[in-house]
Structure 1
Amino acid sequence: MAKYDEKMRIPDLPFDVHRELIDELSRDLGWIVLARYIADEYDIFSLSWMNDFEREQNPLDSRRQIQKLFDELDKRLCNVGNLCILLENCELLNALSVLCYPEPLTIVKQPKSELGKDNAMIAPHKGITLSCKATSLPPPQYLWYHNNVELENETNGDLNIVVTSTTQEGEYKCQVMQRDRDGYLMRQLFSDTFYLKIKPLPVVIIEQPREYIEVKEGGTLILTCKAIGHPEPRYQWFRDNILLNGQDSIELRINDFSVQDEDVYRCYIVNEISSLYSNSTTVKMEQTRCKAVAKVALLIANSDYTNFDPVKKAKNDAALIARLLEDIGFNVICLSNLTVNQMRNAINIFCKLLSEGVYGLFYFAGHGFNMQDNYMLAVDSPKKYLRTDAICDSQLLAMAHLETDPTLLVVILDMCLIVPSRDDNPEIHKEIPIIYEYKSKKNRRNLIRAYSTSRHCPSYERKANDFGLYVTHLSKYIKSTVPVTKMFKQVQISLEKTLKGRERDQIPQLTSIVVKPYRLTDMINEGYSSTAIKSLSTLITFPTRTILQTFTRLGVECKITVGSFELPYLNIVRIAVAHVNNYEVSFRNRFPTDPNNLYSFPGKNECILYNPQTSKGRVIISICRNGNELETIEFNMNDYIPCLLHELEQACGV
């Protein structure tokens, strides 16, 4: 009901009422809403008048425009009663409350009205809209609550809920308030309660406890496992499958840790619809970290065989492991495609570096076989090979301990261990093998042997992968800080999870007599190293060198660059010739090799030499035109390749 005579002219309203009415219409551009409504419904204002009318946007201009609007309405005999109707139709209720008496607060729509029930179950990431509508004058204000906690910025009649967390489950209700013109609370009501349920979710572990952890004596063991699900997951920790009383939270905590607390721990997580076990954690007492005097690795990748199929991933595998070992402080010797004599000499060089305090690692990728022992095949192995044509791991171990006694020796053989067929190779079954003795002088607890597969079993590669199966998983863990035996067990477990079909015939094997917690990542004690270790850098240094060379008769002064073609391999060398004007360059060995070890690239003026020491250091470089040699020089590489390569040919094999 209007406070004033409905037939009263608008200009006759009391001054303070007139001003308050203008103030309300100025808020949120309510006067434009009113003007547009009048223009659309009654067609009494021209388009140009409306454009001029809306152009004014600042508060002072708004007041003038509202007054102008009132004047236009007055000219058209619009009285207070008509204005009240217009304001109500435009839902400009705050302005209407200036002219009318208060009307009681009433909730006309409850949150459950549209659903017909006071609860709903919603799946995660789905949504629902709850609505509450009330009538009153002055108009009602809304405030939503969740479990009796005010929801920030939810101040209109519609509450849009998108389920992103299980914490959104619970009771929702709306508080409706009526305030007078001065802001004082006149009345308030609460809607009916609506209960939102979230559909159950199975347990999903989002944070696993660490697989391995060491704790100082007297310290605190803390393991954490976090999971999500609905209803909220419950936790229970176990030690070696024995329930731990009181350990029923996200965090397992054991104070004053001692050796008696060493064991395997895991967590059981459950809710009303599912359950899971976490990964197991091996917990050990922290011991003083070991230090190495030096760390040395020899890696041999035999991929291109004279009489057998290539081992396509061998070079990639050895190169990857070499780079990872360099990252953790190893001095690395990495070689490719060695003959049996070169392999023996390389092993001999390696073993001379293995003195007390040294960590040594040997890795071989290529063809292999098993006959009472595990044998590595060189690239020049005959079709019907004997054990004397190969090198077995017992021979390697005998060489490693004959004169020296390293602190740690890790041998990794990444090869098949199938027994040669009696039909295809009967002679090897008649051969009397050589027995190699393992003669450690002092350290009998320093050896770890890891095999990519077990005896009588194959080792696989996948065509689509860059690396063999074993190295794919070894590379994940080789830089880890866990003891080396634990590291290889992690590799076994990781590989086992991925094997498919015939690949399951590949069964990684590990043997260890190590008792101390050696790690490949152990620090190096810089205070001491043997003479052999000190000379190692001289053996393997291979900088890229550029030499000026003149072809005298043609008057061509060129640059010859010698360097590694494929790091980290020391025995694959690139020779490139530059600044030869418009001439072509060709390359050939001064002394032919069998098999050929020199490959050139037409148009590139460069060549690649595999095991360049077999060429006796002499390469013929020719300047050509149209395929005809015009002038040649004999280039001596001996001064530019690693010294170690010369020793591969000169040292005596064992």
Structure 2
Amino acid sequence: MGDWNRNLGTLSEDALSRLGEILDNCTRGWRQLANIANEHPQFRCSENELTSCSVQVLSPTGSPARYLLARLADRSCSLAFLLSCLKKMDNQHAVQYLTATVMENIHITVQPQSQQALEGGRVVLACRAAGPAGLSYQWFRGKEQILGGSGSAADLVLSPLGPVHQGHYICRVNHGDTCIFSQWAHIQFSRSEFSSPGCSSTLFPGSKSGLCITRQPQSQTVTEGDSLFLECLVEANPPAQFHWHHNMNAMQQQKSSVLRIPAVTTTDRGQYSCKVYNLFHEIWSNPVQIHIGPSSLSDGSWTEVDTAPPPRHIRPKESLYATDKVALLIGNMNYSHHIQLSAPMADVHELANLLRQLDFKVVSLLDLNWQEMNSAVTEFLLLLDKGVYGLLYFAGHGYENYGNSFMVPIDAPASYTSDHCLCVQSVLQRMQERETGLNVFLLDMCRKRNPNDDVIPHSGPLKVTANIVFGYATCVDAEAYEVKEDNLNNGIFISFLKQRVCEDEKVTVMLDRVAEDMGRCELMRGIQALELRSNLSERRALTDLIQSTESPTDHSARNLQWAIAHVLPKSRTLHFECGVQVQIGFAAEFSNIMIIYTRILEKPKEIMSCSAELIDFPEEGVDLDLKKSNQGSVLEAGSLLPIMEILPPAQSPGLYTRLKSLQRLKKELTFTVCLHYRYSNMDDEEVQDMRRVTVGKPLVSKLNLHEPRKPRSSSSDRPSVNAPETSMYAEDLGQDFPASETSSIGSALTTSYYSQTTREQPRSYSSATQRVNIPEENAELMECAPQPLIASQSLTQSHLTQDPCSFNDKNNFHTY
């Protein structure tokens, strides 16, 4: 029997492509699949994602259905759930193909685990596979097959253990001419007792950090009414947290090392696994199967018929909704007169990706000065109106005086005061005047008092509303910390927030859980704790659906107003007289950071080699490191976010140039493409050809954030399509903007956390690594008609990275 509980993404690429072809070319196709999947909150597709599916037909090899299947796989869609959707659609062709594929597919359900054992001891390497009947197993040590003994069994037994057994082992599972290999398992001979199956960082004596499962849960067969007991024991530093999953769905009440269900029913059957994690590591237990029936698994008097994941709670139709959802994310790192930070880049990128999954219109900006922050907030306010959910996230230096919080721009002087900073309460007052439905502030900064600022701010009285939520990364008069070590990912606050932000819960409940998660982390106790302030009286959630009450014209104006900040230049092909064709493409890393790549599409046979470099960028308006321009990879070009799908594949190498601070671009972006090439009959003589290119004002540069503007506070000031005087409409409102290329930028980032800016002798704490989602920024601007706009999409879990790092005591955190 096939394993229907596994993720859709475990199907082979050929199987997924064939299934995509079936759903692309039938009346009961991918749109119907998306509509049925939308009934389950976990698999709900936004309008932006459906539009992304549609535009796949513009590519010669694009498949809307294949794109949709990838999105479902990202959200842990099981094969059983997909099958149930296809049956509801009555697409018999797809049902038959999927059933045949799964039933004949070999899938390893239990992987052999690396172990360390004592001389004379006993080691068992286990491998289990699901698939058609008649599977056989072959074990190998390195390249040599293990003959005799248990070498052809599912369990390889090594006893008594000696130095000869040390090495790497792998299992091959066969069915006819088809085979699949397990992962490698390393057996290490030791004279001290320790084994390390399921470890994210080895915990040998003398090590500093890690997370290791010492006892795995076991598969069981129980009868209805009996109790179910599963246990997962670990060794961890810092202490571990647990979260059990049933059929790949999180069990909200099961968050300890032991799972207990007092009286099971048939709905409790299926696959169980436990996610074990601490601040810096995350591992999963082996998946186990729980069979439930009147007697035992061999009793033919019962049959399992429903292995689809149980539906999650769906809120009633009368739930609250947003008229729109908008987020402004600012991360300041490179300060002119204060301590440099590292984590804001990763944190802003991570949160932007998650909010886009919740249908937020997101503007993400790095390294803004005072004028740019003021202008960005003013433009953000233009996107707000009655019933809109507004979210402002700031990561960087900050302080709090007399109950007012201040965000510090990168150009703030050494002894800054409130005149050099932005007051969060003033922003809130302006947001309230827009009659927003929900105001959320997430402030990732210190809240120590600023001794240079004795002025009591007067931002004016706040309205009496019940829709304000403040989430502070640390408590009043306390510092936030930054981990100073290489190869890190998120800061502390986002490390916990990203686990919860997409939960379908009242926003205060979600943040309370984040605070509880931080409180359970022993490393943070007495050092940093999230503080929540709120007067929210309704069950408003970041996951609330959008239901616009505006006229189509007003809604179109809002979409255009937001989309102008995300216009990428259209990809183009340059034809040189020598016969070489060069493609220029563009990708958005943030709303104010763009990557340009060039690649050779075609060259005559007589040309031996050629490359296209970008030169002559404007001296003012963009931040460009010339030493890192025209590099062979995005990492070499200065980005910590490796570009993925939309850039040229490995077999078509290109050159990459990264432009920062686009908000300071005052004129159209113009540069030169310099083609270098050599003819095969000319000895080492290089020829050059130049082509000047103008691409307009990309991304946030259209907003002219460098220009002062008067704060707009009245909701009546929101521009309409007939109000071109608004700064966002200053660039030919009526023109047809080109659709931007989809940009895909993953991340494996070095990050740190946020600290106060006064330069005191640092205290130290530790560091480690978190897995980072690998997000994409995709801004596709349609014409001015009220059409849905593409915001972004997230990549699959397989793109996430996790690097081991050292953790001992509180010796590498720094506060300033």
Give runs of aligned pairs for residues 178-217 of structure 1, distance below 5 A. Answer: none
What is the distance in 2 between the residues matched to 1:465 and 1:504?
A: 23
Which residue in the other structure is 1:642 paired with? Answer: 699
Which residue in the other structure is 2:505 paired with? Answer: 482
Could you tell me which of 388, 406, 412 is aligned with 1:358? 388
Could you tell me which of 658, 664, 684 is aligned with 1:608? 658
Offset at residue 289 of structure 1 (A): 1.2
1:547 matches 2:577: no
From the superposition, tell whether residues 591 and 323 of structure 1 become closer, same or farther in structure 2 (CA, over 3 Å). Answer: same
Which residue in the other structure is 1:582 paired with? Answer: 610
Offset at residue 476 of structure 1 (A): 1.0
Aligned amino acid, residue 543 of structure 2: T
Which residue in the other structure is 2:160 paired with? Answer: none
Could you tell me which of 399, 405, 429 is aligned with 2:453? 429
1:315 matches 2:340: no
What is the distance in 2 between the residues matched to 1:374 and 1:627?
A: 62
From the superposition, tell whether residues 535 and 624 of structure 1 become closer, same or farther in structure 2 (CA, over 3 Å). Answer: closer
What is the distance in 1 between the residues matched to 2:257 and 2:472?
A: 40
Which residue in the other structure is 2:301 paired with? Answer: none
Offset at residue 524 of structure 1 (A): 1.2
| Equivalent residues of 2:591, 2:700 under 8 A apart | no
SS of corresponding position for 2:422:
strand
1:496 matches 2:519: yes
Task: Report Cα offsets for 1:560-600 as digits up to 9, x if no partner.
Answer: 5242242xx12111122334963662424323359657664
| Equivalent residues of 1:542, 1:564 under 8 A apart | no
1:621 matches 2:672: yes
Offset at residue 400 of structure 1 (A): 1.6
User: Could you say which structure has the higher strand fraction?
Assistant: 1
Which residue in the other structure is 2:417 paired with? Answer: 386
SS of corresponding position for 1:511:
strand
Offset at residue 515 of structure 1 (A): 0.3
SS of corresponding position for 1:361:
strand
What is the distance in 2 between the residues matched to 1:547 and 1:226?
A: 52
Q: Can you give the 5+ residue segments of structure 1 that lack an aligned partner in the other structure?
A: 1-162, 169-200, 211-222, 236-248, 252-282, 423-427
SS of corresponding position for 1:466:
coil
Task: Report Cα offsets for 1:143-197 as digits up to 9, x if no partner.
Answer: xxxxxxxxxxxxxxxxxxxx999999xxxxxxxxxxxxxxxxxxxxxxxxxxxxx
Aligned amino acid, residue 536 of structure 2: V
What is the distance in 2 between the residues matched to 1:226 and 1:384?
A: 47
Offset at residue 480 of structure 1 (A): 0.8
> Which deviates more, 358-367 or 453-462?
453-462
Could you tell me which of 387, 395, 406 is aligned with 2:426? 395
What is the distance in 2 between the residues matched to 1:226 and 1:619?
A: 56
Aligned amino acid, residue 406 of structure 1: T
Q: Percentage identity across aligned positions?
A: 20
| Equivalent residues of 1:345, 1:649 under 8 A apart | yes
Could you tell me which of 488, 512, 515 is aligned with 2:534? 512
SS of corresponding position for 1:297:
strand
What is the distance in 1 between the residues matched to 2:581 and 2:256?
A: 68
Could you tell me which of 359, 370, 379 is aligned with 1:340? 370
Which residue in the other structure is 1:153 paired with? Answer: none
1:534 matches 2:559: yes
What is the distance in 2 between the residues matched to 1:226 and 1:302?
A: 35
Could you tell me which of 536, 553, 561 is aligned with 2:584? 561
Offset at residue 305 of structure 1 (A): 2.2
Task: Report Cα offsets for 1:259-314 as digits up to 9, x if no partner.
Answer: xxxxxxxxxxxxxxxxxxxxxxxx9x989410111111111122222233332121
Task: Report Cα offsets for 1:590-617 as digits up to 9, x if no partner.
Answer: 2335965766435544321112242333
Task: Report Cα offsets for 1:99-151 as digits up to 9, x if no partner.
Answer: xxxxxxxxxxxxxxxxxxxxxxxxxxxxxxxxxxxxxxxxxxxxxxxxxxxxx
Aligned amino acid, residue 347 of structure 2: D
**Larger relative contact order (CA 8 Å, sep ≥ 6):** 2
TM-score of the pair, normalised by structure 2: 0.41
Which residue in the other structure is 1:652 paired with? Answer: 709
Could you tell me which of 296, 319, 344 is aligned with 2:326? 296
Give runs of aligned pairs for residues 145-184 of structure 1, distance below 5 A. Answer: none
| Equivalent residues of 1:344, 1:653 under 8 A apart | no
Backbone CA RMSD of aligned residues: 4.4
Aligned amino acid, residue 458 of structure 1: E
| Equivalent residues of 2:407, 2:423 under 8 A apart | yes
SS of corresponding position for 2:704:
helix
What is the distance in 2 between the residues matched to 1:558 and 1:352?
A: 43
Aligned amino acid, residue 429 of structure 1: D
Could you tell me which of 438, 447, 460 is aligned with 1:408? 438
Could you tell me which of 468, 493, 498 is aligned with 1:470? 493
What is the distance in 1 between the residues matched to 2:255 and 2:563?
A: 53
Offset at residue 559 of structure 1 (A): 3.5
What is the distance in 2 between the residues matched to 1:318 and 1:207?
A: 26
Compare CA radii of gyration and give the structure with the larger one. Answer: 1
SS of corresponding position for 1:486:
helix
Offset at residue 234 of structure 1 (A): 12
Aligned amino acid, residue 528 of structure 2: Q
Aligned amino acid, residue 474 of structure 2: T
| Equivalent residues of 2:469, 2:532 under 8 A apart | yes
What is the distance in 2 between the residues matched to 1:448 and 1:535?
A: 28
| Equivalent residues of 1:587, 1:622 under 8 A apart | yes
| Equivalent residues of 2:393, 2:442 under 8 A apart | yes
| Equivalent residues of 2:586, 2:596 under 8 A apart | yes
Aligned amino acid, residue 592 of structure 2: N
From the superposition, tell whether residues 438 and 576 of structure 1 become closer, same or farther in structure 2 (CA, over 3 Å). Answer: farther
| Equivalent residues of 1:597, 1:610 under 8 A apart | no
Task: Report Cα offsets for 1:18-71 as digits up to 9, x if no partner.
Answer: xxxxxxxxxxxxxxxxxxxxxxxxxxxxxxxxxxxxxxxxxxxxxxxxxxxxxx
| Equivalent residues of 1:565, 1:608 under 8 A apart | no
Aligned amino acid, residue 379 of structure 1: I
Aligned amino acid, residue 638 of structure 1: G
Which residue in the other structure is 2:619 paired with? Answer: 591
| Equivalent residues of 1:298, 1:362 under 8 A apart | yes
Aligned amino acid, residue 508 of structure 1: L
From the superposition, tell whether residues 225 and 620 of structure 1 become closer, same or farther in structure 2 (CA, over 3 Å). Answer: closer
| Equivalent residues of 1:224, 1:250 under 8 A apart | no
Which residue in the other structure is 2:741 paired with? Answer: none
From the superposition, tell whether residues 484 and 357 of structure 1 become closer, same or farther in structure 2 (CA, over 3 Å). Answer: same
Offset at residue 224 of structure 1 (A): 8.5
SS of corresponding position for 1:561:
strand
Which residue in the other structure is 1:78 paired with? Answer: none
SS of corresponding position for 1:333:
strand
Aligned amino acid, residue 586 of structure 2: G
| Equivalent residues of 2:623, 2:659 under 8 A apart | no
Alignment coverage as a number of residue pairs? 385
From the superposition, tell whether residues 489 and 305 of structure 1 become closer, same or farther in structure 2 (CA, over 3 Å). Answer: same
User: Could you say which structure has the higher helix fraction?
Assistant: 1
Offset at residue 472 of structure 1 (A): 0.9
Task: Report Cα offsets for 1:467-507 as digits up to 9, x if no partner.
Answer: 11111111111111111111111110011111416x63212
What is the distance in 2 between the residues matched to 1:164 and 1:479?
A: 31
